[in-house]
Amino acid sequence: MYPWNANYHEPSRDPTTEPEPNPDELPPVPAWPTLDTYGWFRGGGTNNSSSSSSSRSSRDSYDRESLPDAAAIEASRQEIINLVRRRYDIPESDPVDLTAISDTPDGSRPDANLARILHLAIAGSPRQKLTLREIFLAIKDRFAWYKNSEDKRWQGSIRHMLSMKAEFVQVPRPLMEPGQGHYWTLNMNLTGDKRVRKR
C-alpha cells in the first residue's frame, strides 16, 4: 500500500488510446489448469499445447518402459512353480497347489508343516501371490481342520512365518487396484530367516 500523499492524483485515462470500459462486460476468465486423462495437471490456453504434447509423450514412453514385460512375468511365475515342485518332489503330471497335500478323512489336522502349506497355497494361486486373507481362505477351503477349528492360533503362526522366513516376499498392492492388503509371493532361492532390524 502506497503512503498517503496529498499531491498524488490517479493518472487520467487517454481516450485516444484506451477504450471506454464497459461496466456490463465481465473480465476474461483465466485459463485454469485442468487434469488430463493421465491425472496430470495441464495448463490452459494454446501456448501450452506443444509442451503438454511433449510431456504426455514422455510419460507414455516412461509408462511403457516401467510396465513389466508379460513374458518376464510368466517366466517368473513358472520359476516359482518349478522350484516348489522340486522342493517337494511333486510329479510333473500333478498340479503344484494344496491338492499335493492329502486331507485327513476324519477331519484331523493334516500332517504337513505350515511352510509347505504356505508354499503350495501361494504357488497354486493364479498369479503366484496372495493376500493374508486369501491365504487363510485357501487353507480353510482345502483342509477341514483349519476350517472348523475354534483354535485360531494357526493364523498367528502363519503371520509369524510370513514375516520371519526369507522366502516369503511382501509385494505392495498397485495403487489403482481395488481391495486391501499387500500381497505375499515366493522367492524359493532365499533361505533362512529375514534379518531382524535392530531397534
CATH number, position 158: 1.10.10.10
Residue 66 resides in a domain: no
Domain assignment present for residue 175? The answer is yes
- 78 within a domain of the structure (yes/no): yes
Per residue in 35-50, pLDDT tens?
454 444 444 444 444 4
Residues 164-190 have pLDDT tens digits of 999 999 999 988 889 889 999 999 998
Does residue 12 fall inside a structural domain?
A: no
Is residue 41, in this structure, part of any structural domain at all? no
Tell me the residue range of the domain where 152 lies: 71-186
Number of domains in the chain: 1
| Residue 52, domain member (yes or no) | no
Within-domain flag for 17? no
pTM exceeds 0.75, yes or no: no
Contact yes or no for 33/42 (Cβ under 8 A): yes
**Is 190 within 8 Å of 159 (Cβ atoms)?**
no
Residue with cell 503350495: 120
Place of cell 509371493: 185
Domain assignment present for residue 195? The answer is: no
If 0-12 CB within 10 Å is exposed, 13-18 middle and 19+ buried, where does residue 55 land? middle
CA distance linking residue 130 with residue 12, whole number of Å: 75
Question: Which run of H or of E encompasses 170?
Answer: strand 168-171
